[in-house]
Amino acid sequence: MFRVTQELRFCYGHRLLGHPGKCARLHGHNARVFLVLRAASVDAKGMVIDFDVLEQRARRYLDEALDHRMLLQQGDPACAALAGIGETFVALEVPPTAENLAKLIFEQLLRAGLPLAEVRLEEQPGSTASYGSP
């Protein structure tokens, strides 16, 4: 089995409702996401995927959906406040944790046709969550 990994970076803000610590407050992260693809064989060029193609396809989703966005859980009172001043945000059905973001990215890029094995999201140095296929 061949595996390739592409690292991409994006920034986002969030907060975790009901969290007992400082993550309950609005704050931001400079995240690194590691996209791990797998394939049983390589193409005629000897690749699982061209890294430039992978970056372009993944970057399109990250830039449009997550980069420099405030990610909040539906029902967060901050949603109404931000909407009231015309500020954009993304309301998620689940808490915007690193685990849930890794799953969201995995599912979106899998739907886009990438042969993903795993997505790892490093929220901050040393704090990484992952989601992938068994």
Residue-wise pLDDT for 93-123, tens only, equals: 999 999 999 999 999 999 999 999 999 999 9
Report the SS3 class of residue 110.
helix
Average pLDDT over residues 22-42: 97
Give the E-state strand segments of the chain in sequence order. 2-14, 27-39, 69-73, 90-92, 116-124, 127-132
Q: What is the distance in angstroms between the CA of the first residue and the CA of the last residue of the chain?
A: 14
- Whole-model pTM above 0.85? yes
Vertex 66 angle, CA 37 and 16, to 5°: 105
Q: Structural domains in the chain?
A: 2-132 (3.30.479.10)
Which pLDDT score, from 0 to 100, does residue 134 have?
78
Look up residue 3 and give its amino acid: R
Burial zone of 88 (CB within 10 Å; 0-12 exposed, 13-18 middle, 19+ buried): exposed
Which pLDDT score, from 0 to 100, does residue 51 have?
97
Rounded-to-integer distance, Cα 123 and Cα 79, Å: 22
Which pLDDT score, from 0 to 100, does residue 44 have?
96
